[in-house]
Structure 1
Amino acid sequence: MTASYPPSWYAASATPLPEQPILQGRLEADVCILGAGYTGLSAALELAEAGYRVIVLEAERIGWGASGRNGGQAIVGFGCEQDALEGLVGADDARKLFELSQEGMALLHARIRKHGIACDWRDGHASVPLKPRQVHQLRAWQAHMAERYDYPMEWWDRERLRSQLASDRYLGAVFDPHSGHLHPLEYAFGLARAALAAGVRIFERSPAVQLVRGKTPTFKTPQGEVRCDFAVLAGNAWLRGIAPELESRIMPVGTYIGATVPLGEQRARGLIRNDMAVADVNWALDYFRLSRDHRLLFGGRASYSTLPPPNLRGTMARRMRRVFPQLHDVGIEYVWGGYVDISLNRAPHWGRLAPNVYFAQGFSGHGVAATGLAGKLIAEAVRGQAERFDLFGRIPHRPFPGGRALRTPLLVAAMAWYKLRDALW
């Protein structure tokens, strides 16, 4: 059991990482990074391997936020569809962005191999429709990705899907063999071990309370400070007052996962025979996969109000049994949740607050691969090669309407409409 993490199957099953010290006193670094999740650790690793002195400040523990609690599905692309990116930046830049997302997936695999990260990677992801209109939408998306982006995926009819997935709920699938799933917290720990070995200094339980901007940015914590040449904000949904102009452009959304009791290998493989990850295409979606110890990990039931849903364990069990009625006798052993950071247009929000202050946020539920890419591109920009990073700066982003007082109620109302649409059409 990994102590001082929110209770979850991830924390219970991960190989513990030694606790890192609390920042005390004044230090200097070439680069100081706020946040020890995938983005911050990836940037730190890239920069340390290039010879930079790097410090990472983490308010809690390594991988404590979304990096250690997410659904574990690593998917090529971003939180918005490619046709949305085409509308935002044009067809040429949208293609460049998609190719970068493929590079992000390749980078994830390369880091797993290079650093020997035992994070249970499994190939394959299926997007599954529940209604005929969703079948048409998925087939159109599949054709668009093949024709415009040279990214072929497989269409599985209901019979083909049923040969791999023991559920009658879905009408088919678009199967992507290049996406897949992993153990999120183990991956975060693996990145941290690699960064520490490269010379990165990580300070846990060291929340930044202020960023003093200027020629030499300074992060202040309750017991110390770090002066640096370059600052990186990788706190995503947990920035908490450090950069208000960034916070207004993302919304923290609660997302929740349940893990069944161990099913045994035979019963688990009877549910998902090829061990792929699965997600439906409702706005309020369900997603699920198997664990290494033969549990079903079942996610969904997002909260747009930041309040945990009532009776979460019972709700997750009911949703799971709608997909797999044969699990009527199976209990949920772990239930956990956390925040993901969504942008208003669901596109990634990466850029600069100043020539020496970089940020990446707005992963919108598609961060497992994209965060590693963000870290790499930030490192490139710090080293003076900013062309690829600046491509993301061309994506326009607006703040959520309503300000702090009204943006959550407005989003809750909008999500209620989308859930109604899922139910009726």
Structure 2
Amino acid sequence: MSSYPATYYSATRVASSSAYESLQQNLQADVCIVGGGLAGLTTAWELLKRNKSVIVIEANKVSWGASGRNGGFCLNGWAEGLGAIEKRSGFEDAKKLFAMSVEGVEIVRENIEQNNLPDCNIVKGKLSVVRYEAADQMQRYRDRMAQHFNYEYEYLDTAAVRQKLNTPIYKQALRDSTGFHFHPLNYALGLADLIRAKGGRIFEDSAMQSFTRNPQAGATGRYTVKTAQGSVQCDDVVLCCGGYGGSQFGKLRRSFLPIATYVVLTEKLGSRLQDFIRTTDAVGDDRRSSDYYRVVEGDRILWGGRITTKNEQDETRLAAILRKDMCDVFAGLKDVKIEKAWSGLMGYSRHKMPHIAKVEDGVWACSSFGGHGMNTTAIGGRVVAEAVSGESDRIRLFKPYGLTWNGGIFGPLAAESVYYYLRLMDYFQEGRYKGAHR
């Protein structure tokens, strides 16, 4: 039996969380969902509300991968920037995609609040900070988002930022009062309980080995999804693999790269925290390889960062890497104890948008959320459920973002090269500001 990796979230998951048996029989359902992360769970929940019978199979445990070990930020937007989306999709469709990303935030909030999901620990607010002078740029962005996208940000000047974050690194910020941070694993476990209560079935330790189209004569569904000890016959298959998906996912697996990010949790800081952080807002900067962090349990810092193809597992090395990043911002934390450190893989597409698509007749993708998955898995699951049920064609908005080849064996090398290039661009951007203000 698989177990959760040692993270802050697994250590604080709800005590009443359910365990699910493995699939050891041949079953039937309208839809088989492959992957028990937030994309798969949300798709299942949305399909059940549309009166579809659903079976979810998960290779490990519910939200074992990126869904259960991330930064816990639930915010508007996609992994791809809004400007790039406008260029590819056009202004009107970009507005619709942005509105859908906001809808994703509300889906998560409503699922928690309307169903009283335990220990999800929602805290509103997120500060997007910059490490160079950008006052005019940020205010123009704030105004454009309000005028054209009907979304409000609060602008904070340098003095206001330093009231909240005691560091000379940050210059200005935009505050998002709609977004929030929370406990993603407890949310996933609560959502899984809702699915089971509504008649959906979830099987853990049940990796898909293959899915094949059934012959027309005598078939009880269009597809058979096989695991080591069982199978599901169904009319529709939804592939919700993340960075841990294997070759059995076919053309979908050839369309994303597994990219790692790192997270650490500090010791309890007590009143010392106020020397550095004086806000309950989550914080993230705008660099290509950004820091992101938030306060949990009142006086611990949960800090994440780095985007790399190297899935570092050595906790001592992980702690050292992120301690350095933390001390670059808050120099006084150089002696802080790191109590937990972990990494995880995310699925990234080359175009940085998720794969939300009809792959072929009866086969759907809801995958590759690229480090911005808390809201986008939610709206992705709803959009796919709408498409499977024939309720809407909103899935068409993702047609410009198809299953683009990931580069094969050269993909990870290319991704790592891009990562270092982007870090270099961050360095030069900050360097220009420092040089101008000497």
Fold shared per TM-score above 0.5:
yes
1:279 correspondence with 2:284: yes
* Partner residue, 2:177: 177
| Shift in Å, 1:362 | 2.4
* Partner residue, 2:266: 260
Distance 1:103 1:394 in 2: 20
* Partner residue, 1:150: 150
Deviations 1:347-399 (Å, cap 9, x if unpaired)? 22210112211111221111101111111111111211231122223435532
Q: 1:422 aligns with which of 401, 426, 435?
A: 426
Deviations 1:70-121 (Å, cap 9, x if unpaired)? 1111110111111111111111111111111111111111101111123111
| Shift in Å, 1:167 | 2.2
Q: How does 1:120-131 map to 2 (within 5 A)?
A: 120-131=121-132
| Shift in Å, 1:287 | 0.6
* Partner residue, 1:292: 297
Deviations 1:147-197 (Å, cap 9, x if unpaired)? 321212111111011112222210110111111211111111111111111
1:218 correspondence with 2:217: no
1:368 correspondence with 2:371: no
| Shift in Å, 1:204 | 0.3
1:85 correspondence with 2:85: yes
1:386 correspondence with 2:392: yes
| Shift in Å, 1:268 | 3.4
* Partner residue, 1:15: 14
* SS of structure 2 residue aligned to 1:245: coil
Deviations 1:313-360 (Å, cap 9, x if unpaired)? 111112112222232332000001101111112122210112211111
Q: How does 1:262-411 map to 2 (within 5 A)?
A: 262-264=268-270, 266-268=271-273, 271-307=276-312, 311-396=317-402, 398-401=404-407, 403=408, 405-411=409-415
Distance 1:269 1:357 in 2: 51
Distance 2:14 2:275 in 1: 28
* SS of structure 1 residue aligned to 2:327: helix
* Partner residue, 2:53: 53
Runs of 4+ residues deviating >6 angstroms: none
2:212 partner amino acid: V
| Shift in Å, 1:4 | 1.4
Consecutive unaligned residues in structure 2, runs of 5 or more: 215-220, 430-438
* Alpha-carbon contact 1:252-1:306 (below 8 Å) kept: no
* Alpha-carbon contact 2:357-2:402 (below 8 Å) kept: no
TM normalised by structure 2 equals 0.91
Distance 1:136 1:224 in 2: 60
Distance 1:290 1:354 in 2: 44
Distance 2:308 2:289 in 1: 10
* SS of structure 2 residue aligned to 1:14: coil
Distance 1:397 1:220 in 2: 24
* Alpha-carbon contact 2:268-2:300 (below 8 Å) kept: yes
Task: Name whichever of 144-153 and 334-343 sits farther off.
Answer: 144-153
* Alpha-carbon contact 1:269-1:275 (below 8 Å) kept: no
2:122 partner amino acid: W
* Partner residue, 1:141: 141
Number of residues paired by the alignment? 419
Distance 2:164 2:8 in 1: 25
Distance 2:179 2:277 in 1: 16
* Partner residue, 1:119: 120
1:286 partner amino acid: D
* Partner residue, 2:165: 165
| Shift in Å, 1:306 | 4.2
* Partner residue, 1:242: 248
* Partner residue, 2:433: none
* SS of structure 1 residue aligned to 2:164: coil
1:32 partner amino acid: C
Consecutive unaligned residues in structure 1, runs of 5 or more: none
| Shift in Å, 1:307 | 5.0
Deviations 1:204-225 (Å, cap 9, x if unpaired)? 0000011113561111111111
Distance 2:23 2:34 in 1: 13
Identity of aligned residues (%): 34
Distance 1:26 1:60, change over 3 A: same
| Shift in Å, 1:304 | 2.4
* SS of structure 2 residue aligned to 1:322: helix
* Partner residue, 1:30: 30
Distance 2:411 2:354 in 1: 19
1:70 partner amino acid: N
Distance 1:237 1:311 in 2: 22
Distance 1:396 1:57 in 2: 25
* Alpha-carbon contact 1:22-1:206 (below 8 Å) kept: yes
2:290 partner amino acid: L
TM normalised by structure 1 equals 0.94
* Alpha-carbon contact 1:261-1:330 (below 8 Å) kept: yes
* Alpha-carbon contact 2:26-2:231 (below 8 Å) kept: yes
* SS of structure 2 residue aligned to 1:236: coil
* SS of structure 2 residue aligned to 1:186: helix
* SS of structure 2 residue aligned to 1:189: helix
Distance 1:355 1:122, change over 3 A: same
